[in-house]
Structure 1
């Protein structure tokens, strides 16, 4: 094939921007009256459950909105016969609304805040995420847990909880929804347990508020859980804990890109049509939301809106995931994922504590 022919073929291929525009156009065209009719019942129920979970969490200090939403979903699934008309909307919520929640999470990030931590703590954050994922994967393999389940747990515990689980699911297209639900449930359970444990352990270790905040942000799974722990510690802990946690969230994009590339390489030539993009669309949107926040184009109130929207979307998605779980099926998962979750929690917390002891500055 000549150079001229190669140039002609290359020119005929759509650019990345053209592919995004094409996909967005296809998405809009798919939302006809029939699509709305099929999704509306399930989405309405998911939205109602999310509103209920947010209300309960606001009345119950320290309660996890995601855990409440999951419990509501599991209870409904196992004690109330759900009509089949709800299935399309619930499936959409469990997948697409999860990704939308991840996208809104990007608006909460300011790269300048992360850089203010200094090169030492930034290196610690990279090690927490990188070594946290690697160690959890190795232990999960040793325990005999499947590759998808241990990857979901590893990223959820090392990066940013349910949002990271959703991001991994969006890249690898998990076929078994029970694995996603198990990872999310473990993140919520063990992260919630860390809320009182980290402040108490920090006091026993004699850490100052600043260092205790660094440790909380580096070790606890969910952003909301970090806020709860940082508030318990008091002083300078809350602000620095959130910054460190958001630095871990910032690692979401490169980690998802690495997972996507590895998945593409693991597929054969015949699977080309099913290969995930190197940068999934929702991860790209996550980065664009970060850029939008940095631009300062939107008013400060937009940050509050994004937080509320993210909590609502993730709560609706957690409820939808909960409706797909039989208690018997969840119990059938066995004890090994729980063991892996416990080990991963201790491992990530140990990495964070080591980094704080080296690079922290007590106040």
Structure 2
């Protein structure tokens, strides 16, 4: 029995140094975030980029960092499902649900269109458009899992995660002021903030900085956007396979990654009321830590010099997508009176 377990124990020992480095970077980022107010996701990514030498071939930490960037990420995205339920949809109403869903779909199409205009590949358009439309860094990493891989996949993913985190931080400061300047009601302000800011943490911060009702509405709207992660990933995967797109190495991407199935399963169980609120909150906290650790690992894996090769067109694209979803939701609120 002990002999049979030896290979597994040896593999765990080999992966542990890279995993613990990623955890330490994530914990440092969280500490700095709590004391200085900067987003933990952004800090984890920047700290990780500064430690790229730990992911070089031959280092003791390289294998563990590579596995952490994939496996822990999948756990984090799956656990997001425990915070999603069908009941949320009834609380918002058909009109606002249609506006939120329309914003997600239109922003993804906007990303694909801008990719053609700026001479970028459709993969980059789907990656940036989906991350802006749904839930920032979490969506970027989930969509990246079903995209055919190419030589710049890792660079594009890190750029997207970094960009949406920075833009979310800017929006967290600017959007509450914009909401007040436009004279939006607490409900409208919550829909605007929850329907446009990329990351969940920044939505909560921006919403409750305005007021209790705005904060609760913004969080609800944001979780409805998060719930669209699974159908968007499935739809995109089906279209990719139907188009015959293949990776550089010839491997086909998965139809629906296992962690997305986990997301769907937890959302279904939560919709049936089988997950107590305290467990749902704990799953949300664990999900956030898993995503923070995986983003730290992704940052460590990535060369900053290579990421800077992405160019100004990519920056213009993701800023334009952010402006687009903001304008779409504001116009929708205006038309709904």
* TM-score scaled by length of structure 1: 0.85
Structure 2's unaligned 5+ residue stretches are none
Deviations 1:197-246 (A, max 9, x none): 11111111111222111100111001111001101211310000011111
Change (3 A) 1:211 1:93: same
Match of 1:159 among 91, 113, 134: 134
Counterpart of 2:80 in structure 1 is 105
Q: Which moved more, 1:273-282 or 1:201-210?
A: 273-282
Provide the C-alpha distance between the structure 2 equivalents of 1:259 and 1:133, rounded to a whole number of angstroms: 10
**Is 1:91 the counterpart of 2:66 in the alignment?**
yes
Kindly name which structure, 1 or 2, has the bigger radius of gyration based on alpha carbons.
1
After TM superposition, the structure 1 stretch with the greater mean CA deviation from structure 2, 84-93 or 237-246, is: 84-93
Q: Per the alignment, do residues 91 and 30 of structure 1 end up closer, same or farther by CA in structure 2, a change over 3 Å counting?
A: farther
2:304 counterpart residue number: 327
Match of 2:21 in 1: 45
Paired with 2:108 and 2:159, the residues of 1 have a C-alpha distance of 17
Determine the structure 1 residue equivalent to 2:45: 70
Partner of 2:101 in structure 1? 126
Q: Secondary structure at the match of 2:80?
A: helix
Mapped to 1, the partners of 2:262 and 2:204 lie a distance apart of 25
Instruction: Please report how far the alpha carbon of residue 297 of structure 1 lies from its aligned counterpart in structure 2 after TM superposition.
Output: 3.1
Specify the SS of the correspondent of 2:141.
Answer: helix
Distance (Å, rounded) in 1 between the aligned partners of 2:6 and 2:244: 29
Alignment of 1:251 with 2:228, yes or no, is yes
Distance 1:228 1:169, change over 3 A: same
Q: Distance between the aligned counterparts of 2:325 and 2:30, measured in 1?
A: 29
Matches within 5 A, 1:125-144: 125-144=100-119
Deviation at 1:301, TM superposition (A): 2.0
Deviates more, 1:169-178 or 1:254-263: 169-178
Query: Structure 2 CA distance, aligned partners of 1:253 and 1:282?
Result: 10
Report if aligned partners of 1:263, 1:275 keep a CA contact under 8 Å in 2.
Answer: no
Structure 2 counterparts to residues 128-277 of structure 1, below 5 A: 128-172=103-147, 174-175=149-150, 176-267=153-244, 274-277=251-254
Compute the TM-score of the two structures, normalised by the length of structure 2: 0.91
Q: State whether residues 105 and 306 of structure 1, in contact with CA within 8 Å, keep that contact through their aligned partners in structure 2.
A: yes
Q: Partners of 2:230 and 2:304 in 1: how far apart?
A: 33
Contact 2:146-2:255 at 8 Å conserved across structures: no
Q: In structure 2, do the counterparts of structure 1 residues 137 and 226 end up closer, same or farther at CA, with 3 Å as the change threshold?
A: same
Match of 1:190, SS state, is helix
1:351 paired with 2:334, answer: no
Q: 1:280 aligns with which of 240, 252, 257?
A: 257
Equivalent residue pairs, number: 329
Provide Cα deviations, 1:155-204, integer angstroms capped at 9, x if missing partner. Answer: 00011111111111111253421111011011101111101111111111
State the partner residue of 1:341.
318
Distance in 2 (alpha carbons) for counterparts of 1:43 and 1:173: 26
C-alpha distance in structure 2 between counterparts of 1:79 and 1:284, whole Å: 32
Whether 1:302 aligns to 2:276 is no
CA distance in 2, matches of 1:113, 1:75: 41
